[in-house]
Amino acid sequence: MFRKVFNIKTDKRIEIIDITQEIQLIVEQSHYNNGIVNIYSKHSTSGIVINENETGLIKDFKTALESLIPVEGNYNHNCINNNADSHIRSFFIGSSETVPLYKGKLDLGTWQSIFFVELDGPRNRKVTVTVMGHE
User: Rounded CA gap, 24 and 51, in Å?
Assistant: 16
Query: Tens digits of per-residue pLDDT, 17-74?
Result: 999 999 999 999 999 999 999 999 999 999 999 999 999 999 999 999 999 999 988 9
User: Rounded CA gap, 105 and 95, in Å?
Assistant: 22
Please give the model's pTM, rounded to 2 decimal places: 0.95
**In the chain, at which residue ranges do the beta strands (DSSP E only) sit?**
2-9, 15-18, 34-41, 46-52, 96-102, 105-106, 112-118, 124-134
User: Rounded CA gap, 122 and 118, in Å?
Assistant: 8
List, edge to edge, every strand of the sheet that includes 112-118. 15-18, 112-118, 46-52
**Which among 88, 56, 47, 57 is positioned nearest to 71, based on CA atoms?**
88
pLDDT given for residue 69 in this prediction:
97
Mean pLDDT score of the chain: 96
Q: Where are the domains of the chain?
A: 2-134
Per the CB < 8 A criterion, the answer to whether 90 and 47 are in contact is yes
The CATH fold assigned to 2-134 is Jelly Rolls (2.60.120)
